[in-house]
Structure 1
Amino acid sequence: MKTILKSLLTLMVLSMTLISCDNDDYTLDPEIALTGSLESPSNSETIEIDLENGDNIIFSWTPAQANDGGTILYTIKFDRPGGDFSDPIYTSPSDNGGGATTFTMSTSRLNIIAAEAGIQQLETGDVAWTVEASSSYFRENFTEPSTLSLTRPEGLAIFPEYMYVYGSATEASDIPSAVAFKQISNQLPNDNFQPGVFESVTHLSPGEFYIVNGNNASAEDLTHYYINSEGKIRSGDDPTTFDMEEGVYRVRMDLAKATISFVEISNIQLYILANQAVKADLEYVGNHTFEATNAYFEFLTPESPDAPDWLGWEEERYRYQFQLGDGQVSYLGSMHNEAMNGSLVPGLEGYNGRPNGGEPEYYNNVYFLGPEAAYWQGAWKFPDALNGANFTVRVVFDPKAENYYQELIQE
């Protein structure tokens, strides 16, 4: 038995020695031996960026090689013409997490790259691109970069945090006090906004206004815009004339399409959903705010003289209606679905109780529901404290708040 064990031990030692010798003959060498070459788009190719109808652009190249034949990962880089790609304006791993010799880019991303390279809307300019190959800790750019000639569509590609207006037609006389616009996003199922739409609810009267991308008059990157004769937003210090009737408007700037729209908002009313009774007529008081004071409501019961025939419980649900433009009735409401047991806004939860202190902080968020909102959609409930009490109600379209919101305050 001892002889057998000694023999096995000897074989194991011999095998390990042979393996060790074999490993000594092979040395890992991840250094890049050969970079690839850029294939598509071809050098100096012209691309006219079409944000609405354009297909994705596919960038491709031949593979690089490492001395040991190991895996190569790729990063595509974009720079201004003449740049050395040490401080690129955009980088991204290639398709398949960096493992593919292709990169798929949307036209909107290419438009942003063109803008960051200094190409203005409706102008043509060049952008350089290359690929960086990496193997272990070795990284090397392809030796021959390529150039693209890009023609940008009208509209901005890089959006500021806020846009602003000021001038005699607005509520603000100068840049520091300018009226803010916020970029709006899709929240409710019926929303269909593209990036770059900025909105403000504000008072306008005949006069002139200026559009700027900031409210710091001394900022180096402060840019003025105006509306040309075709209704398009263009860079420039010229004032724009507002010649519509005085009123409160929902103004939307679509920076991606370089357009602007003005739709008047009037007759905001708080009304009870069960019987359609108006309980407050809100007036514009400035600074994006509508307000009514001395409002009053007693919760509906089956015995109330104005209760609907079908009512068999105490009812206090309400929302807002208003006129949009030339008399079209539209609605403002909460995130709630018709049953008020869920939210139509992703990430929020419905709250079916009275807001007596246990409601979530987003309970009073206000949303544009649109003219086709379902009968019970977007309801709120009154708190118990306002049953049979006078109150002040405000709807605040503050562009610098996280959301538009309402306030109900007992008087």
Structure 2
Amino acid sequence: MKKILLISAALLAVMSCQKYKYDTNFSAPTKLNSPESVNIDPTSTQNVVLSWTGGGAEDGGICLYNVLFDEVDGDFSEPIAIMASDNGGLAQLTLTHATLNILARNAGIGALETGSIKWTVTASRGGEVKQSEVSATISLTRPDGLSLIPEELYLYGSAIAGDGGEGRAFRKVSEGVFDMFAVLADGEIYFRNTTGDDAVNFYINSENKLADGEGTTTVTATDLNEEKNYIAERITVDFNTLSMKREKIGELHIVWSQTYGDVGPEEFGIKDPVYRFTYDGNGVFSRTIDVITVPYRHPGWPAGQTVADERYYFDVKVDDVDMRWRWSSPSLTGAAPEVNAPLSYYDIVEVTWASAGQWDNAYKFNASLLNAGSVTVKIYGNLDGYFCHQFE
């Protein structure tokens, strides 16, 4: 009996010393399923499902799947996109029409064109990856328009090299509308929705419409006519109208609401070329004021009538049309804000000069800036997403 117990103990000891080997064998899918063709409608809520069967883990465990997409004559060595399957481990991938539109564009299929892409699947487990030996093809017909409307927009190309360089961010004005102040050189420009490697490119095509793809737009240098004091231009890209607009900016002044005259030692409605803003580059305009002296009397008022009023705004010519850059909120009647107040106080909206009342939506100088020596005013085309101004 004692010998039997000793033998049993020895067998248990040997078994406990042996490592348990997990079955990690798996194989890639052997059959792929997808629609033969899709007419893409980016507004559609009907999804397209790619699925596959065959292969998998021999022990019934989970494999992770990636779907590779490529041009129809590609070999998946440099796929146009790689996407994880639904939840990473399901044997299917659900695609929206918007995603299919991007895939079609990346495969070189233009708007209103029909072309094909192909796809295959890789399975992985324990760090090992196996690719399916089969692939499937889908015919895609793209709609007119763009593959997406970006949330952000950046300017690229040789024409912007001298003013902030490639990758300068536009300000988002509203949904699908972006603008930027710049000085361009003769050259090429194009737009991207991100500065990353997976960016979507946009450009103005031969029909003068915004398009997506690898094209560029040839532009002439910004008109800096000295006689008209053009100092920069505003570029507006509108994804809603598929357009780009270039507007000349000049005769930019900071003026008193009371007198329409330049802010500074002058008092009575005079706009002197000496006091115009200059363009510093990278979307910034500036003017240094020797001293901010508040005018106490308007020449049209009765003798003896004086009042100090610290309200101001900006006058500017946009394509030679008089415009006003002013506050987005009603004029202050109380105390002026602090110099370091939130940017929302110093934000700027543009209206025509003819429609702007003398006192409407004016800013108000903080008392610390008055009669306090030199002050520099800077207007930013895009400061943390604001078109605004600051004092230094």
After TM superposition, the score normalised by the length of structure 2 is 0.58
Classify 1:403/1:241 alpha carbon distance in 2 versus 1 (closer, same or farther; 3 Å).
closer
Contact 1:226–1:239 under 8 Å retained in 2:
no
Shift of 1:111: 3.9
Name 1:261's counterpart in structure 2.
245
Classify 1:253/1:211 alpha carbon distance in 2 versus 1 (closer, same or farther; 3 Å).
farther
Matched residue count: 331
Question: Does 2:296 correspond to 1:297?
Answer: no
Classify 1:104/1:56 alpha carbon distance in 2 versus 1 (closer, same or farther; 3 Å).
farther
Contact 1:298–1:388 under 8 Å retained in 2:
no
SS in 2 for 1:113: helix
Contact 1:90–1:113 under 8 Å retained in 2:
yes
**Which of residues 310, 317, 331 in structure 1 aligns to 2:326?**
331
SS in 2 for 1:62: strand
Letter in 2 for 1:76: V
Classify 1:134/1:81 alpha carbon distance in 2 versus 1 (closer, same or farther; 3 Å).
same
Contact 1:124–1:150 under 8 Å retained in 2:
yes
Name 1:184's counterpart in structure 2.
170
The whole-number CA distance in structure 2 between the counterparts of 1:354 and 1:202 is 27
Shift of 1:70: 0.4
Shift of 1:67: 0.5
Contact 2:248–2:318 under 8 Å retained in 1:
yes
Shift of 1:86: 3.3
Name 2:76's counterpart in structure 1.
85
Unaligned runs of 5+ in 1: 1-9, 167-174, 215-222, 309-315, 339-351
Classify 1:291/1:104 alpha carbon distance in 2 versus 1 (closer, same or farther; 3 Å).
same
Question: Does 2:116 correspond to 1:126?
Answer: yes
Name 1:252's counterpart in structure 2.
236
SS in 1 for 2:109: coil
Classify 1:240/1:261 alpha carbon distance in 2 versus 1 (closer, same or farther; 3 Å).
same
Pairwise mapping of residues 338-377 of structure 1 onto structure 2 (< 5 A)? 353-355=338-340, 367-369=347-349
Pairwise mapping of residues 85-124 of structure 1 onto structure 2 (< 5 A)? 85-96=76-87, 98-124=88-114
Question: Does 2:20 correspond to 1:30?
Answer: no
**Which of residues 118, 123, 126 in structure 2 aligns to 1:136?**
126
Shift of 1:61: 0.8
Shift of 1:298: 5.5
Classify 1:332/1:295 alpha carbon distance in 2 versus 1 (closer, same or farther; 3 Å).
farther
Shift of 1:201: 2.3
Classify 1:199/1:237 alpha carbon distance in 2 versus 1 (closer, same or farther; 3 Å).
closer
Pairwise mapping of residues 5-16 of structure 1 onto structure 2 (< 5 A)? none
Q: 1:149-172, CA deviations, whole angstroms, 9 ceiling, x for partnerless residues? A: 334444587999523586xxxxxx
**Which of residues 156, 172, 193 in structure 1 aligns to 2:175?**
193
The whole-number CA distance in structure 2 between the counterparts of 1:365 and 1:162 is 28
Pairwise mapping of residues 221-300 of structure 1 onto structure 2 (< 5 A)? 228=206, 231-233=208-210, 235=215, 249-254=233-238, 258-262=242-246, 270=254, 280=263, 283=276, 285-286=278-279, 287=281, 288-294=283-289, 296-297=291-292
The whole-number CA distance in structure 2 between the counterparts of 1:276 and 1:110 is 59
Shift of 1:369: 4.6
Question: Does 2:368 correspond to 1:384?
Answer: yes
Contact 2:313–2:324 under 8 Å retained in 1:
no
Name 2:302's counterpart in structure 1.
none
Contact 1:156–1:255 under 8 Å retained in 2:
no
Letter in 2 for 1:259: S
SS in 1 for 2:179: strand
The whole-number CA distance in structure 2 between the counterparts of 1:378 and 1:91 is 53
CA RMSD of aligned residues (A): 5.7
SS in 2 for 1:384: helix
Name 2:65's counterpart in structure 1.
74
Contact 2:155–2:170 under 8 Å retained in 1:
no
The whole-number CA distance in structure 2 between the counterparts of 1:84 and 1:381 is 65
Letter in 1 for 2:326: Y
Letter in 2 for 1:103: L
Classify 1:57/1:184 alpha carbon distance in 2 versus 1 (closer, same or farther; 3 Å).
farther
Name 1:212's counterpart in structure 2.
189
Letter in 1 for 2:292: F
The whole-number CA distance in structure 1 between the counterparts of 2:291 and 2:107 is 59
Contact 1:126–1:147 under 8 Å retained in 2:
yes
Letter in 2 for 1:199: D
Contact 2:64–2:124 under 8 Å retained in 1:
yes
Shift of 1:69: 0.4
Contact 1:56–1:105 under 8 Å retained in 2:
no
Q: 1:269-290, CA deviations, whole angstroms, 9 ceiling, x for partnerless residues? A: 54689x8987637745345554
Letter in 2 for 1:184: F
SS in 1 for 2:174: coil
Shift of 1:108: 4.8
Contact 1:213–1:224 under 8 Å retained in 2:
yes
The whole-number CA distance in structure 1 between the counterparts of 2:311 and 2:51 is 62
Shift of 1:79: 1.7
The whole-number CA distance in structure 1 between the counterparts of 2:362 and 2:158 is 31
After TM superposition, the score normalised by the length of structure 1 is 0.56
The whole-number CA distance in structure 2 between the counterparts of 1:94 and 1:165 is 40
Q: 1:64-111, CA deviations, whole angstroms, 9 ceiling, x for partnerless residues? A: 521100012221211222333233222122222x13333344555444
Identity %: 21
